[in-house]
């Protein structure tokens, strides 16, 4: 018996076949677990793997609903992109929640001591994170609305390219604005 292709399974799922959905979910289980582990392995919430498996199943449904064969991209790539974006969004939201509660995230554990050496002292990390946040808040008072929006997006983990896309400006303008803000902050010290 030949294996049913992704495209046939998608057609069957769109016709209401729950068994086809289970088969497609099982087919991409290893891929989903790998992506989840890659993005979330350092996160505190990774211990609750069932939530992430549920997220993978929901994103599989979204991929099935939105996928079109005529776009010349495989379903595997399409699904992986949707799941990857959802995991990135999760990390952004989770990091923002941790920072507003006064905790540094796992990604903030490396601290430069000024001589190019990095430490992972968590109490020092919290102090530095709070002082950095205070400086950012003080600097934000002197920025215009456009600059504030760029800083907020950057604080939330957006890349220059994502900020440019979101604000419908060029990446160069984003980089120039951030450079201008940093230079102004250095002069005020």
Is the pLDDT at 157 greater than 90? The verdict is no
Tell which wins on pLDDT, 49 or 32. Answer: 32
> What average pLDDT does the segment 146-166 reach?
85
> What average pLDDT does the segment 145-151 reach?
88
pLDDT category, 130, cuts 50, 70, 90?
Answer: low
Integer CA distances (angstroms), 187 to 18, 135, 146, 182, in order: 62, 13, 21, 9
Is the pLDDT at 156 greater than 80? The verdict is no
Residues facing 150 on adjacent strands: none
What are the E-state strand segments in 40-156? Answer: 111-112, 118-119
Reduce the DSSP state of residue 107 to 3 states and report it.
helix
Tell which wins on pLDDT, 68 or 44. Answer: 68
pLDDT in tens, 131-143: 666 666 676 777 8
Tell which wins on pLDDT, 167 or 52. Answer: 167
What's phi and psi for 103, nearest 5 deg? Answer: -100, 145
Residue 168 CA to residue 119 CA, distance in Å, equals 38
What are the E-state strand segments in 20-135? Answer: 111-112, 118-119
> What average pLDDT does the segment 120-133 reach?
47
pLDDT category, 22, cuts 50, 70, 90?
Answer: very high
């Amino acid at each position: 018996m030949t294996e049913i292709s992704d495209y046939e399974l998608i057609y069957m799922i769109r016709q209401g076949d729950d068994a086809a959905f289970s088969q497609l979910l099982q087919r991409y289980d290893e891929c989903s677990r790998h992506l989840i582990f890659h993005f979330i392995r350092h996160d505190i919430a990774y211990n609750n793997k069932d939530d992430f498996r549920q997220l993978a199943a929901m994103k599989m449904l979204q991929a099935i609903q939105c996928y079109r064969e005529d776009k010349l991209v495989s379903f595997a790539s399409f699904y992986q992109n949707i799941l990857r974006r959802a995991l990135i969004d999760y990390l952004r939201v989770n990091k923002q929640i941790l920072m507003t509660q006064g905790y540094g995230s796992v990604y903030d554990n490396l601290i430069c001591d000024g001589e190019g050496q990095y430490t992972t002292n968590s109490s020092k990390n919290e102090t530095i994170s709070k002082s950095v946040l205070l400086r950012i808040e003080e600097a934000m008072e002197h920025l215009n609305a456009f600059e504030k929006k760029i800083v907020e997006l950057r604080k939330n983990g957006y890349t220059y390219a994502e900020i440019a896309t979101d604000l419908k400006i060029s990446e160069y303008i984003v980089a120039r604005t951030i450079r201008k803000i940093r230079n102004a902050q250095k002069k005020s010290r």
